[in-house]
Structure 1
Amino acid sequence: MLSFSILGALQIRTATGFAEISGDLQRNLIQTLLVSEGRPISGESLVEEMWGDSVPDKQANALQAHISRLRRKLKSLEPDLAVSRVTIHPSGYRLTIHEGEFDAAEFTKSVRQAEAAGAADAAGTAELLGRALALWRGPVFGDFPGGTICQLACARYEEYRMRAMELRFEAELRLGHHAAMLAELHEAHSNHPLRERFCEQLMVALYRSGRQADALNVYRAMRRHLSDELGIDPSPALRHVEHAILAHDPALTGGARTLLQPA
Protein backbone atom coordinates (compact mmCIF):
# COMPACT_ATOMS: atom_id res chain seq x y z
CA MET A 1 0.00 0.00 0.00
CA LEU A 2 1.20 3.48 -0.88
CA SER A 3 0.32 6.82 0.66
CA PHE A 4 0.54 10.10 -1.20
CA SER A 5 1.12 13.46 0.48
CA ILE A 6 0.93 16.91 -1.12
CA LEU A 7 0.20 19.09 1.93
CA GLY A 8 3.83 20.09 1.74
CA ALA A 9 6.36 18.82 -0.80
CA LEU A 10 5.22 15.75 -2.76
CA GLN A 11 5.87 12.55 -0.83
CA ILE A 12 5.11 8.94 -1.68
CA ARG A 13 5.47 6.60 1.27
CA THR A 14 5.96 2.87 0.82
CA ALA A 15 6.18 0.06 3.36
CA THR A 16 9.94 0.59 3.53
CA GLY A 17 10.24 4.38 3.35
CA PHE A 18 9.85 7.25 0.91
CA ALA A 19 10.04 6.92 -2.87
CA GLU A 20 11.70 9.51 -5.07
CA ILE A 21 9.96 10.89 -8.17
CA SER A 22 12.68 12.27 -10.39
CA GLY A 23 12.18 14.96 -13.00
CA ASP A 24 9.86 17.96 -13.05
CA LEU A 25 7.62 16.48 -15.74
CA GLN A 26 7.06 13.29 -13.77
CA ARG A 27 6.31 15.25 -10.60
CA ASN A 28 3.93 17.50 -12.50
CA LEU A 29 2.19 14.47 -13.98
CA ILE A 30 1.60 12.64 -10.72
CA GLN A 31 0.62 15.81 -8.87
CA THR A 32 -2.00 16.59 -11.52
CA LEU A 33 -3.37 13.06 -11.36
CA LEU A 34 -3.45 13.23 -7.55
CA VAL A 35 -5.42 16.48 -7.32
CA SER A 36 -7.97 15.02 -9.74
CA GLU A 37 -8.79 12.71 -6.79
CA GLY A 38 -9.67 9.63 -8.80
CA ARG A 39 -11.41 11.41 -11.66
CA PRO A 40 -10.10 10.93 -15.22
CA ILE A 41 -8.24 13.86 -16.73
CA SER A 42 -7.87 14.34 -20.47
CA GLY A 43 -4.61 13.91 -22.29
CA GLU A 44 -4.90 17.48 -23.61
CA SER A 45 -5.16 18.83 -20.06
CA LEU A 46 -2.18 16.79 -18.94
CA VAL A 47 -0.08 18.02 -21.86
CA GLU A 48 -0.93 21.65 -21.10
CA GLU A 49 -0.24 21.14 -17.40
CA MET A 50 3.12 19.48 -17.99
CA TRP A 51 4.54 21.55 -20.85
CA GLY A 52 2.54 24.77 -20.86
CA ASP A 53 3.39 26.76 -23.98
CA SER A 54 6.40 24.55 -24.75
CA VAL A 55 4.42 21.62 -26.12
CA PRO A 56 6.75 19.03 -27.69
CA ASP A 57 6.44 17.60 -31.18
CA LYS A 58 4.32 14.44 -31.21
CA GLN A 59 2.80 15.44 -27.91
CA ALA A 60 0.65 12.30 -27.65
CA ASN A 61 3.75 10.13 -27.87
CA ALA A 62 5.58 12.28 -25.34
CA LEU A 63 2.71 12.07 -22.88
CA GLN A 64 2.38 8.33 -23.35
CA ALA A 65 6.08 7.90 -22.67
CA HIS A 66 5.69 9.73 -19.36
CA ILE A 67 2.56 7.76 -18.47
CA SER A 68 4.45 4.51 -19.11
CA ARG A 69 7.37 5.71 -17.01
CA LEU A 70 5.06 6.59 -14.13
CA ARG A 71 3.33 3.22 -14.38
CA ARG A 72 6.68 1.44 -14.17
CA LYS A 73 7.69 3.51 -11.18
CA LEU A 74 4.48 2.82 -9.27
CA LYS A 75 4.64 -0.86 -10.23
CA SER A 76 8.14 -1.07 -8.76
CA LEU A 77 6.78 0.29 -5.50
CA GLU A 78 3.90 -2.25 -5.44
CA PRO A 79 5.23 -5.32 -7.27
CA ASP A 80 2.39 -7.52 -6.02
CA LEU A 81 -0.31 -5.24 -7.43
CA ALA A 82 -1.99 -6.99 -10.38
CA VAL A 83 -3.47 -3.89 -12.04
CA SER A 84 -1.70 -0.61 -12.70
CA ARG A 85 -2.83 2.35 -10.65
CA VAL A 86 -2.73 4.53 -13.77
CA THR A 87 -5.49 3.55 -16.17
CA ILE A 88 -6.88 5.03 -19.37
CA HIS A 89 -10.57 5.79 -19.86
CA PRO A 90 -12.61 7.36 -22.66
CA SER A 91 -12.34 10.71 -20.87
CA GLY A 92 -8.63 10.46 -20.06
CA TYR A 93 -6.14 9.09 -17.56
CA ARG A 94 -6.95 8.17 -13.98
CA LEU A 95 -4.84 7.44 -10.91
CA THR A 96 -6.51 5.01 -8.52
CA ILE A 97 -6.33 6.23 -4.95
CA HIS A 98 -7.90 4.23 -2.14
CA GLU A 99 -9.44 5.68 1.00
CA GLY A 100 -6.83 6.79 3.48
CA GLU A 101 -4.01 6.97 0.92
CA PHE A 102 -4.13 10.68 0.00
CA ASP A 103 -3.57 13.32 2.67
CA ALA A 104 -5.43 16.14 0.89
CA ALA A 105 -8.54 14.01 0.42
CA GLU A 106 -8.46 12.93 4.06
CA PHE A 107 -8.03 16.54 5.13
CA THR A 108 -10.97 17.89 3.14
CA LYS A 109 -13.13 14.98 4.36
CA SER A 110 -12.37 15.96 7.96
CA VAL A 111 -13.30 19.60 7.29
CA ARG A 112 -16.62 18.54 5.76
CA GLN A 113 -17.30 16.31 8.76
CA ALA A 114 -16.63 19.21 11.10
CA GLU A 115 -18.94 21.50 9.12
CA ALA A 116 -21.69 18.87 9.19
CA ALA A 117 -21.31 18.40 12.96
CA GLY A 118 -21.95 22.09 13.59
CA ALA A 119 -21.63 23.33 17.15
CA ALA A 120 -22.97 20.20 18.83
CA ASP A 121 -19.63 18.53 19.63
CA ALA A 122 -16.99 21.17 20.25
CA ALA A 123 -14.52 18.72 21.80
CA GLY A 124 -14.86 16.27 18.93
CA THR A 125 -14.51 19.04 16.35
CA ALA A 126 -11.40 20.46 18.03
CA GLU A 127 -9.77 17.02 18.15
CA LEU A 128 -10.76 16.10 14.58
CA LEU A 129 -9.46 19.33 13.10
CA GLY A 130 -6.33 19.34 15.25
CA ARG A 131 -5.38 15.98 13.73
CA ALA A 132 -6.34 17.16 10.23
CA LEU A 133 -4.30 20.36 10.43
CA ALA A 134 -1.30 18.37 11.65
CA LEU A 135 -1.17 16.77 8.17
CA TRP A 136 0.16 20.05 6.77
CA ARG A 137 3.97 20.16 6.41
CA GLY A 138 4.14 23.39 4.41
CA PRO A 139 2.64 24.91 1.23
CA VAL A 140 0.84 22.49 -1.08
CA PHE A 141 3.47 20.81 -3.31
CA GLY A 142 6.21 22.68 -1.43
CA ASP A 143 8.21 24.82 -3.84
CA PHE A 144 6.85 23.08 -6.97
CA PRO A 145 3.29 24.36 -7.57
CA GLY A 146 3.08 23.06 -11.15
CA GLY A 147 0.69 24.32 -13.81
CA THR A 148 -2.77 25.84 -13.76
CA ILE A 149 -4.65 22.75 -12.56
CA CYS A 150 -2.25 22.24 -9.66
CA GLN A 151 -2.24 25.92 -8.78
CA LEU A 152 -6.04 25.96 -8.63
CA ALA A 153 -5.88 22.88 -6.41
CA CYS A 154 -3.39 24.68 -4.16
CA ALA A 155 -5.87 27.52 -3.71
CA ARG A 156 -8.73 25.08 -3.05
CA TYR A 157 -6.86 23.13 -0.39
CA GLU A 158 -5.57 26.33 1.20
CA GLU A 159 -9.13 27.62 1.51
CA TYR A 160 -10.10 24.36 3.22
CA ARG A 161 -7.16 24.91 5.58
CA MET A 162 -8.41 28.40 6.48
CA ARG A 163 -11.88 27.00 7.08
CA ALA A 164 -10.46 24.23 9.26
CA MET A 165 -8.57 26.77 11.34
CA GLU A 166 -11.69 28.89 11.78
CA LEU A 167 -13.78 25.91 12.85
CA ARG A 168 -11.11 24.64 15.23
CA PHE A 169 -10.68 28.06 16.86
CA GLU A 170 -14.46 28.30 17.18
CA ALA A 171 -14.60 24.92 18.90
CA GLU A 172 -11.71 25.76 21.23
CA LEU A 173 -13.39 29.04 22.22
CA ARG A 174 -16.59 27.18 22.98
CA LEU A 175 -14.58 24.91 25.26
CA GLY A 176 -13.21 27.93 27.14
CA HIS A 177 -9.66 27.54 25.81
CA HIS A 178 -9.29 31.21 24.88
CA ALA A 179 -6.00 31.72 26.74
CA ALA A 180 -4.43 28.64 25.17
CA MET A 181 -5.48 29.80 21.69
CA LEU A 182 -4.20 33.38 21.91
CA ALA A 183 -0.79 32.74 20.34
CA GLU A 184 -2.26 30.74 17.45
CA LEU A 185 -4.98 33.33 16.88
CA HIS A 186 -2.41 36.15 16.84
CA GLU A 187 -0.39 34.22 14.26
CA ALA A 188 -3.42 33.40 12.10
CA HIS A 189 -4.60 37.03 12.17
CA SER A 190 -1.10 38.34 11.36
CA ASN A 191 -0.63 35.90 8.48
CA HIS A 192 -4.11 36.53 7.04
CA PRO A 193 -4.88 40.15 7.96
CA LEU A 194 -7.89 40.45 5.64
CA ARG A 195 -9.68 37.36 6.97
CA GLU A 196 -12.23 38.86 9.32
CA ARG A 197 -13.19 35.64 11.08
CA PHE A 198 -9.71 35.32 12.59
CA CYS A 199 -9.98 38.91 13.76
CA GLU A 200 -13.37 38.26 15.41
CA GLN A 201 -12.05 35.17 17.18
CA LEU A 202 -8.90 36.95 18.38
CA MET A 203 -11.00 39.81 19.76
CA VAL A 204 -13.22 37.38 21.67
CA ALA A 205 -10.21 35.50 23.05
CA LEU A 206 -8.54 38.74 24.18
CA TYR A 207 -11.73 40.00 25.81
CA ARG A 208 -12.20 36.73 27.69
CA SER A 209 -8.59 36.97 28.84
CA GLY A 210 -9.29 40.33 30.47
CA ARG A 211 -7.73 42.37 27.68
CA GLN A 212 -10.61 44.53 26.45
CA ALA A 213 -8.35 47.39 25.32
CA ASP A 214 -6.21 45.04 23.25
CA ALA A 215 -9.33 43.52 21.67
CA LEU A 216 -10.56 46.96 20.63
CA ASN A 217 -7.12 47.91 19.31
CA VAL A 218 -7.18 44.80 17.11
CA TYR A 219 -10.54 45.92 15.73
CA ARG A 220 -9.33 49.46 15.01
CA ALA A 221 -6.24 48.17 13.23
CA MET A 222 -8.40 45.81 11.19
CA ARG A 223 -10.77 48.62 10.25
CA ARG A 224 -7.85 50.76 9.03
CA HIS A 225 -6.38 47.83 7.12
CA LEU A 226 -9.66 47.04 5.35
CA SER A 227 -10.07 50.70 4.43
CA ASP A 228 -6.51 51.11 3.16
CA GLU A 229 -6.26 47.80 1.28
CA LEU A 230 -9.79 47.26 -0.02
CA GLY A 231 -11.62 50.53 0.54
CA ILE A 232 -14.36 48.81 2.56
CA ASP A 233 -15.73 48.89 6.09
CA PRO A 234 -15.68 45.93 8.51
CA SER A 235 -18.44 43.39 8.03
CA PRO A 236 -21.59 43.49 10.20
CA ALA A 237 -20.33 40.41 12.06
CA LEU A 238 -17.04 42.09 12.98
CA ARG A 239 -18.79 45.31 14.01
CA HIS A 240 -21.15 43.22 16.13
CA VAL A 241 -18.22 41.79 18.08
CA GLU A 242 -16.84 45.28 18.66
CA HIS A 243 -20.22 46.50 19.94
CA ALA A 244 -20.54 43.45 22.17
CA ILE A 245 -17.13 44.14 23.72
CA LEU A 246 -18.00 47.77 24.35
CA ALA A 247 -21.30 46.70 25.94
CA HIS A 248 -19.75 43.82 27.94
CA ASP A 249 -22.28 41.49 26.33
CA PRO A 250 -22.64 38.30 28.44
CA ALA A 251 -22.52 36.24 25.24
CA LEU A 252 -18.81 37.00 24.99
CA THR A 253 -18.04 35.09 28.17
CA GLY A 254 -19.75 31.93 26.94
CA GLY A 255 -23.04 32.33 28.76
CA ALA A 256 -24.77 32.64 25.37
CA ARG A 257 -23.69 31.38 21.97
CA THR A 258 -24.86 34.01 19.54
CA LEU A 259 -21.35 35.40 18.95
CA LEU A 260 -19.83 31.97 18.49
CA GLN A 261 -22.03 30.58 15.77
CA PRO A 262 -19.93 29.12 12.94
CA ALA A 263 -19.78 31.46 9.94
Structure 2
Amino acid sequence: MHGLDFRVLGPLEVSIDTRRVPVAAGKQRVLLATLLLSANRFVAVEELTERLWGGDPPRAPRGALHTYVTRLRQTLDPLAARGGDGPIRTSAAGYGIEVSAGGLDLIRFRDMVGAARTAGERGDLPAESDGLTRALDLWRGPVLPDVRSDSLHRDVVPSLVEEHLRTLERRHEVDLALGRHDRLVGELRALTGKHPFHERFWGQLMVALYRCGRPAEALEVYAEVTKSLRNRLGVRPGHEVRDLHIAILRDDPRLSSTPPEGEL
Protein backbone atom coordinates (compact mmCIF):
# COMPACT_ATOMS: atom_id res chain seq x y z
CA MET A 1 0.00 0.00 0.00
CA HIS A 2 1.07 3.59 0.32
CA GLY A 3 3.55 5.07 2.77
CA LEU A 4 1.11 7.85 3.58
CA ASP A 5 -0.45 8.46 6.97
CA PHE A 6 -3.62 10.54 7.29
CA ARG A 7 -5.19 12.04 10.38
CA VAL A 8 -8.69 13.47 10.72
CA LEU A 9 -9.30 13.12 14.50
CA GLY A 10 -8.19 16.69 15.05
CA PRO A 11 -6.65 19.05 12.49
CA LEU A 12 -6.20 17.48 9.05
CA GLU A 13 -2.69 16.06 8.73
CA VAL A 14 -0.82 14.16 6.03
CA SER A 15 2.62 12.68 6.62
CA ILE A 16 5.05 10.20 5.18
CA ASP A 17 7.73 8.61 7.33
CA THR A 18 6.78 11.07 10.12
CA ARG A 19 7.39 14.03 7.79
CA ARG A 20 4.43 16.37 7.52
CA VAL A 21 3.14 17.04 4.01
CA PRO A 22 1.37 20.38 3.53
CA VAL A 23 -2.00 20.52 1.80
CA ALA A 24 -2.39 24.26 1.75
CA ALA A 25 -5.27 25.00 -0.61
CA GLY A 26 -8.61 25.26 1.18
CA LYS A 27 -10.69 23.36 -1.39
CA GLN A 28 -8.13 20.58 -1.62
CA ARG A 29 -8.32 20.19 2.16
CA VAL A 30 -12.11 19.93 2.00
CA LEU A 31 -11.85 17.38 -0.81
CA LEU A 32 -9.23 15.31 1.00
CA ALA A 33 -11.12 15.38 4.30
CA THR A 34 -14.36 14.33 2.61
CA LEU A 35 -12.67 11.41 0.88
CA LEU A 36 -10.89 10.31 4.05
CA LEU A 37 -14.11 10.27 6.07
CA SER A 38 -15.38 7.74 3.51
CA ALA A 39 -12.03 6.03 3.01
CA ASN A 40 -11.95 2.98 0.70
CA ARG A 41 -15.38 3.89 -0.66
CA PHE A 42 -16.40 6.09 -3.55
CA VAL A 43 -18.05 9.42 -2.86
CA ALA A 44 -20.61 10.68 -5.35
CA VAL A 45 -19.86 13.82 -7.33
CA GLU A 46 -23.02 15.41 -5.93
CA GLU A 47 -21.85 14.93 -2.35
CA LEU A 48 -18.38 16.25 -3.10
CA THR A 49 -19.93 19.29 -4.78
CA GLU A 50 -22.03 19.95 -1.68
CA ARG A 51 -19.01 19.62 0.61
CA LEU A 52 -16.88 21.93 -1.50
CA TRP A 53 -19.34 24.67 -2.40
CA GLY A 54 -22.51 24.20 -0.38
CA GLY A 55 -25.46 25.92 -2.00
CA ASP A 56 -23.30 28.06 -4.29
CA PRO A 57 -21.53 25.71 -6.75
CA PRO A 58 -19.64 27.02 -9.79
CA ARG A 59 -21.26 27.03 -13.20
CA ALA A 60 -19.49 23.81 -14.20
CA PRO A 61 -19.03 21.91 -10.90
CA ARG A 62 -17.84 18.64 -12.45
CA GLY A 63 -15.04 20.36 -14.29
CA ALA A 64 -14.04 22.37 -11.22
CA LEU A 65 -14.12 19.21 -9.07
CA HIS A 66 -11.95 17.40 -11.60
CA THR A 67 -9.42 20.22 -11.36
CA TYR A 68 -9.22 19.90 -7.58
CA VAL A 69 -8.90 16.11 -7.80
CA THR A 70 -6.04 16.52 -10.28
CA ARG A 71 -4.25 18.94 -7.97
CA LEU A 72 -4.72 16.65 -4.99
CA ARG A 73 -3.28 13.78 -7.01
CA GLN A 74 -0.27 15.93 -7.86
CA THR A 75 0.29 16.41 -4.13
CA LEU A 76 -0.22 12.81 -3.03
CA ASP A 77 0.88 10.60 -5.93
CA PRO A 78 4.62 11.36 -5.69
CA LEU A 79 4.47 10.27 -2.03
CA ALA A 80 3.06 6.81 -2.75
CA ALA A 81 5.28 3.80 -2.18
CA ARG A 82 7.79 3.19 -4.94
CA GLY A 83 6.22 1.36 -7.84
CA GLY A 84 2.68 1.89 -6.55
CA ASP A 85 -0.16 4.05 -7.74
CA GLY A 86 -1.39 7.10 -5.88
CA PRO A 87 -4.26 6.72 -3.43
CA ILE A 88 -6.96 8.64 -5.32
CA ARG A 89 -9.38 6.46 -7.28
CA THR A 90 -11.96 7.33 -9.95
CA SER A 91 -15.04 5.41 -11.02
CA ALA A 92 -18.43 6.01 -12.50
CA ALA A 93 -19.68 6.32 -8.91
CA GLY A 94 -17.40 9.26 -8.15
CA TYR A 95 -14.03 9.58 -6.44
CA GLY A 96 -12.42 7.74 -3.54
CA ILE A 97 -9.20 7.41 -1.60
CA GLU A 98 -7.55 4.09 -0.80
CA VAL A 99 -5.84 3.84 2.58
CA SER A 100 -4.45 0.95 4.54
CA ALA A 101 -5.86 -0.06 7.91
CA GLY A 102 -2.94 1.64 9.62
CA GLY A 103 -2.89 4.65 7.33
CA LEU A 104 -5.81 6.60 8.80
CA ASP A 105 -6.36 7.41 12.45
CA LEU A 106 -10.14 7.00 12.16
CA ILE A 107 -9.76 3.41 10.97
CA ARG A 108 -7.21 2.71 13.70
CA PHE A 109 -9.57 4.17 16.29
CA ARG A 110 -12.48 1.98 15.23
CA ASP A 111 -10.33 -1.14 15.02
CA MET A 112 -8.93 -0.51 18.51
CA VAL A 113 -12.39 0.11 19.96
CA GLY A 114 -13.63 -3.12 18.38
CA ALA A 115 -10.71 -5.09 19.82
CA ALA A 116 -11.26 -3.53 23.25
CA ARG A 117 -14.94 -4.41 23.25
CA THR A 118 -14.07 -7.99 22.30
CA ALA A 119 -11.79 -8.15 25.33
CA GLY A 120 -14.63 -6.86 27.50
CA GLU A 121 -17.04 -9.43 26.12
CA ARG A 122 -14.73 -12.23 27.24
CA GLY A 123 -14.58 -10.68 30.71
CA ASP A 124 -11.19 -8.95 30.51
CA LEU A 125 -12.24 -5.47 31.67
CA PRO A 126 -8.68 -4.22 32.34
CA ALA A 127 -7.76 -5.00 28.72
CA GLU A 128 -10.93 -3.28 27.52
CA SER A 129 -10.11 -0.17 29.54
CA ASP A 130 -6.53 -0.09 28.28
CA GLY A 131 -7.65 -0.58 24.67
CA LEU A 132 -10.28 2.14 24.87
CA THR A 133 -7.75 4.50 26.46
CA ARG A 134 -5.27 3.93 23.64
CA ALA A 135 -8.01 4.46 21.06
CA LEU A 136 -9.12 7.71 22.70
CA ASP A 137 -5.51 8.92 22.73
CA LEU A 138 -5.72 9.16 18.93
CA TRP A 139 -8.07 12.15 19.25
CA ARG A 140 -6.11 15.40 19.11
CA GLY A 141 -8.92 17.90 19.62
CA PRO A 142 -11.98 19.06 17.67
CA VAL A 143 -12.52 17.24 14.37
CA LEU A 144 -11.10 19.07 11.34
CA PRO A 145 -11.22 22.63 12.68
CA ASP A 146 -8.93 23.71 9.84
CA VAL A 147 -11.24 22.37 7.09
CA ARG A 148 -13.74 24.99 5.99
CA SER A 149 -16.91 23.24 4.89
CA ASP A 150 -20.21 24.08 6.54
CA SER A 151 -21.74 21.02 4.93
CA LEU A 152 -19.08 18.67 6.29
CA HIS A 153 -19.32 20.06 9.81
CA ARG A 154 -23.12 19.96 9.71
CA ASP A 155 -23.69 16.53 8.17
CA VAL A 156 -20.67 14.38 9.02
CA VAL A 157 -18.62 15.70 11.93
CA PRO A 158 -21.42 15.49 14.57
CA SER A 159 -21.66 11.72 14.15
CA LEU A 160 -17.90 11.42 14.76
CA VAL A 161 -18.18 13.56 17.88
CA GLU A 162 -20.98 11.31 19.13
CA GLU A 163 -18.84 8.24 18.41
CA HIS A 164 -16.07 9.77 20.51
CA LEU A 165 -18.45 10.54 23.38
CA ARG A 166 -19.91 7.02 23.34
CA THR A 167 -16.40 5.59 23.59
CA LEU A 168 -15.62 7.88 26.51
CA GLU A 169 -18.84 6.77 28.20
CA ARG A 170 -17.94 3.12 27.81
CA ARG A 171 -14.41 3.61 29.15
CA HIS A 172 -15.82 5.40 32.21
CA GLU A 173 -18.33 2.60 32.70
CA VAL A 174 -15.57 -0.01 32.58
CA ASP A 175 -13.36 1.96 34.95
CA LEU A 176 -16.23 2.36 37.41
CA ALA A 177 -16.73 -1.40 37.27
CA LEU A 178 -13.01 -1.82 38.00
CA GLY A 179 -13.22 0.42 41.07
CA ARG A 180 -11.23 3.27 39.52
CA HIS A 181 -13.75 5.93 40.56
CA ASP A 182 -11.12 8.11 42.24
CA ARG A 183 -9.33 8.54 38.90
CA LEU A 184 -12.47 9.62 37.09
CA VAL A 185 -13.71 12.55 39.16
CA GLY A 186 -11.43 15.20 37.65
CA GLU A 187 -11.91 14.00 34.09
CA LEU A 188 -15.70 13.83 34.46
CA ARG A 189 -15.86 17.29 36.00
CA ALA A 190 -14.03 18.65 32.95
CA LEU A 191 -16.32 16.76 30.57
CA THR A 192 -19.52 18.01 32.22
CA GLY A 193 -18.21 21.53 31.77
CA LYS A 194 -17.39 20.90 28.12
CA HIS A 195 -20.60 18.93 27.37
CA PRO A 196 -23.16 20.34 29.82
CA PHE A 197 -26.14 18.67 28.12
CA HIS A 198 -24.58 15.21 28.02
CA GLU A 199 -26.39 13.70 31.00
CA ARG A 200 -24.46 10.45 30.94
CA PHE A 201 -21.30 12.22 32.11
CA TRP A 202 -23.19 13.92 34.94
CA GLY A 203 -24.52 10.57 36.11
CA GLN A 204 -21.13 8.93 35.96
CA LEU A 205 -19.66 11.83 37.96
CA MET A 206 -22.33 11.33 40.62
CA VAL A 207 -21.51 7.62 40.85
CA ALA A 208 -17.76 8.29 41.02
CA LEU A 209 -18.20 10.84 43.82
CA TYR A 210 -20.54 8.54 45.76
CA ARG A 211 -18.06 5.67 45.56
CA CYS A 212 -15.29 8.01 46.73
CA GLY A 213 -17.31 8.53 49.93
CA ARG A 214 -18.50 11.99 48.87
CA PRO A 215 -22.29 11.65 48.63
CA ALA A 216 -22.92 15.30 49.50
CA GLU A 217 -20.87 16.38 46.49
CA ALA A 218 -22.75 13.87 44.33
CA LEU A 219 -26.02 15.51 45.39
CA GLU A 220 -24.55 18.94 44.63
CA VAL A 221 -23.74 17.70 41.12
CA TYR A 222 -27.38 16.66 40.69
CA ALA A 223 -28.51 20.13 41.78
CA GLU A 224 -26.05 21.66 39.32
CA VAL A 225 -27.19 19.64 36.30
CA THR A 226 -30.85 20.19 37.23
CA LYS A 227 -30.36 23.95 37.35
CA SER A 228 -28.34 23.99 34.14
CA LEU A 229 -30.88 22.00 32.14
CA ARG A 230 -33.79 24.01 33.50
CA ASN A 231 -32.19 27.39 32.79
CA ARG A 232 -30.77 26.54 29.38
CA LEU A 233 -33.30 24.09 27.93
CA GLY A 234 -36.33 24.29 30.21
CA VAL A 235 -36.23 20.54 30.96
CA ARG A 236 -35.49 18.22 33.87
CA PRO A 237 -32.75 15.58 33.88
CA GLY A 238 -33.72 12.25 32.35
CA HIS A 239 -35.06 9.38 34.39
CA GLU A 240 -31.66 7.66 34.79
CA VAL A 241 -30.11 10.69 36.49
CA ARG A 242 -33.25 11.28 38.58
CA ASP A 243 -33.29 7.63 39.69
CA LEU A 244 -29.61 7.88 40.55
CA HIS A 245 -30.35 10.95 42.69
CA ILE A 246 -32.99 9.02 44.64
CA ALA A 247 -30.61 6.07 45.08
CA ILE A 248 -27.95 8.37 46.56
CA LEU A 249 -30.49 9.92 48.93
CA ARG A 250 -31.46 6.42 50.08
CA ASP A 251 -27.83 5.27 50.28
CA ASP A 252 -28.84 2.37 48.06
CA PRO A 253 -26.27 -0.43 48.53
CA ARG A 254 -26.50 -1.29 44.85
CA LEU A 255 -24.59 1.92 44.06
CA SER A 256 -21.49 0.39 45.55
CA SER A 257 -21.61 -2.71 43.38
CA THR A 258 -20.54 -3.22 39.78
CA PRO A 259 -23.26 -1.74 37.55
CA PRO A 260 -24.77 -3.89 34.81
CA GLU A 261 -23.56 -2.98 31.33
CA GLY A 262 -25.44 -0.01 29.93
CA GLU A 263 -26.42 1.32 33.37
CA LEU A 264 -24.92 4.13 35.44
By the TM > 0.5 criterion, same fold? yes
Cα distance, 1:115 vs. partner? Answer: 5.1
Is residue 40 of structure 2 the alignment partner of residue 38 of structure 1?
Answer: yes
Whole-angstrom CA distance in 1 between matches of 2:28 and 2:262: 45
Partner of 2:192: 189
Whole-angstrom CA distance in 2 between matches of 1:89 and 1:183: 50
Whole-angstrom CA distance in 2 between matches of 1:234 and 1:54: 41
Partner of 2:19: 17
Whole-angstrom CA distance in 1 between matches of 2:111 and 2:154: 20
SS of the residue aligned with 1:3? strand
Is residue 29 of structure 2 the alignment partner of residue 27 of structure 1?
Answer: yes
CA contact (8 A) 1:178 1:209 kept: yes
What amino acid does structure 1 have at the position aligned with 2:220? N
CA contact (8 A) 2:78 2:86 kept: no
Partner of 1:249: 252
SS of the residue aligned with 2:42? coil
Q: Which runs of 5+ in 2 are unaligned?
A: none
1:247–1:81 distance in 2 versus 1, CA, 3 Å: farther
Cα distance, 1:11 vs. partner? Answer: 0.5
Whole-angstrom CA distance in 1 between matches of 2:55 and 2:147: 18
Q: Which runs of 5+ in 1 are unaligned?
A: none
SS of the residue aligned with 1:137? coil
Cα distance, 1:136 vs. partner? Answer: 1.1
Count of residues paired in the alignment: 261
Cα distance, 1:2 vs. partner? Answer: 1.1
1:134–1:222 distance in 2 versus 1, CA, 3 Å: same
Task: Please list, as runs of the form range in 1=range in 2, the aligned pairs for 1:41-190 lying within 5 A after superposition.
Answer: 41-78=43-80, 80-114=82-116, 117=120, 120-190=123-193
Whole-angstrom CA distance in 1 between matches of 2:218 and 2:148: 37
SS of the residue aligned with 1:97? coil
Cα distance, 1:145 vs. partner? Answer: 4.4
What amino acid does structure 2 have at the position aligned with 1:9? P
Q: CA RMSD in A?
A: 2.1
CA contact (8 A) 2:5 2:16 kept: yes
CA contact (8 A) 1:71 1:86 kept: yes
Cα distance, 1:262 vs. partner? Answer: 4.5
Task: Write the deviation string for residues 43-75 of structure 1: whole angstroms up to 9, x where unpaired.
Answer: 222122212344233332221121111112111
Cα distance, 1:114 vs. partner? Answer: 4.6
Cα distance, 1:20 vs. partner? Answer: 0.5
CA contact (8 A) 2:6 2:13 kept: yes
